[in-house]
Amino acid sequence: MSVVQRPDGGAEAISDDRNDDAAADANAAKGHATGHGREAPAGVRKFIKADDGASVPLSVDEEQASASASLTSSSSSSSSSSFAAAASAAILSTMPSQLELPSLRTLSKLALGAAQAVLGASSSAQATGTPDSCPNPTLSCSSSASSNTCCVNSPGGVLLQTQFWDTDPATGPDDSWTIHGLWPDNCDGTYNSNCDSSRAYTNITSILKSFGDDSLVSYMDTYWVSDSGTDESFWEHEWGKHGTCVSTLDPDCYTDYTPTQEVPDFFNAVVDLFKTLPTYTWLSDAGITPSNDDTYSAADIQAALKKHHGYDVYLGCDDGTLDEVWYFFNVKGSIQTGTFEPTALVGSSSTCPSDGISYPPKN
């Protein structure tokens, strides 16, 4: 887990990749031609280019990925003995060569990581546990915020719903922005990442479908797409890097927890929030439409979005071309059952010029 401060106005510090290891791989293979590729997706042996030109490698633990792949191939049997054997094999494969017994907490987390491969392959919807009850929810980052991290996200009380406008290559519908993710930032603008490697699941599609969320996957196939690599690897990365840092999604925050049920809770929350933020429509209503000829001012773009969101948003530009918007929220209660309340931009400032911003059409 890492904690990083994004200085205001620093293009490198607030790149969409937000990866601490980018500098170490500056000479590795390059990605998106525009220099504005996705965060390095998990589970894929490739490099993705960050905003600063550096290439970011896969950060998922190789042993875990290997164990997960092995379990997936053996998950055709649905008996309890097969499940137990698969979980045991995954646990043993991650133990050190010396006889050093892991703690009970470590064994528990490893078992969850093993379970996701088997349960994720199920063809019928699974029963789920219930998120902890929060009868008097409090607002994250407020002076009255609860100390119960199952009822308020902490740290990470500022939730950023991040969107992209990709034109080279074009992704998603011509009349819609697309989802990047949901990032839990700390109240001071710093953030944690990759908070629980034992739950950095590598079969998001299978997990979602195992809980009956086929329609969610279909929506994500259209509106949560990668401009390089596979959509699945993009989702895996967003979950592993950001989703595991949402405290209210911890397995301990459920009664009768079903392994991996926090995954559909996370992706449903992201998609539901995205649907309330129609960036394309809000800009279009203000006369700001994609064009190869017209340009726009940052003030006009901010005004169009603030009219609906209530606060300034982060505007991201690549060489004067608008391609990112981040909306900031606090959450009253848990991510699963709480209410997202818009809040002021924290810790980042726009990378767009004040005037002459281009907003090209996708096609």
Give residue-wise pLDDT tens across range 24-52.
332 222 222 223 333 433 333 222 333 33
What torsion do the CA atoms of 150, 65, 121, 248 make, to the nearest 10 degrees? 10
Give the least confident one: 98-102, 110-114, 155-159, 249-253.
98-102
- Active-site pick, 36, 180, 237, 309: 180
Residues facing residue 332 across a β-bridge: 139, 339
Place of tokens 């792949």: 69
Beta-bridge mates of residue 284 = none
Quote the CA–CA distance of 88 and 73 in Å, as a whole number.
Answer: 15
Among 3-7, 120-124, 215-219, which is the least confidently predicted range? 3-7
Q: Determine the average pLDDT of the residues in 238-264.
A: 97
Question: The tokens of 6 are what?
Answer: 């994004």
Whether residue 242 lies in the annotated active site: yes
Catalytic annotation, pick one of 36, 237, 242, 309: 242
The model's pTM is 0.71
Question: What φ, ψ does residue 215 adopt, rounded to 5°?
Answer: -65, -35
**Letter string b/e over residues 60-90, b meaning 16 or more CB atoms within 10 A of that residue's CB:** bbeebbebbebbbeebeeeeeeebeebbeeb
**Distance of alpha carbon 54 from alpha carbon 36, whole angstroms:** 11
Active-site residue (options: 236, 238, 262, 324): 238
Provide the H-helix boundaries in the chain: 62-73, 80-93, 104-119, 204-210, 214-223, 231-241, 262-275, 279-285, 298-309
| pLDDT of res. 126 | 77
Contact 4/18 with Cβ under 8 angstroms?
Answer: yes
**How long is the chain?**
363
**Residue 188 pLDDT more than 60?**
yes
Residue with tokens 């009868």, as numbered in its chain: 135
User: What residues have CB less than 8 Å from 136, skipping those under 6 apart?
Assistant: none
Least confident stretch, 4-18, 150-164, 226-240, 342-356: 4-18
Model confidence at 347, pLDDT cuts 50, 70, 90, reads: confident
Report d(CA 325, CA 315) in Å as an integer.
Answer: 5
The share of the chain scoring above pLDDT 70, in percent, equals 66
Closest among 304, 294, 292 to 356, alpha carbons compared? 294
Q: In the structure encoding, which two tokens stand for residue 29, read together? A: 């293979």
Residues 93, 63: contact at Cβ < 8 Å? yes
Beta strands in the chain (DSSP E): 2-4, 47-49, 55-57, 130-131, 158-164, 178-185, 191-193, 254-255, 291-296, 314-318, 321-332, 339-342, 357-359
User: Residue 185 and residue 191: Cα distance in Å, rounded?
Assistant: 4
Q: Are 156 and 289 in contact (CB under 8 A)?
A: no
Whole-number mean pLDDT of the chain?
Answer: 77
Residue 254 has pLDDT above 50, yes or no: yes
The reported pLDDT for the residue numbered 163 is: 98
Measured between alpha carbons, how far is 279 from 163 in angstroms, rounded to an integer? 9
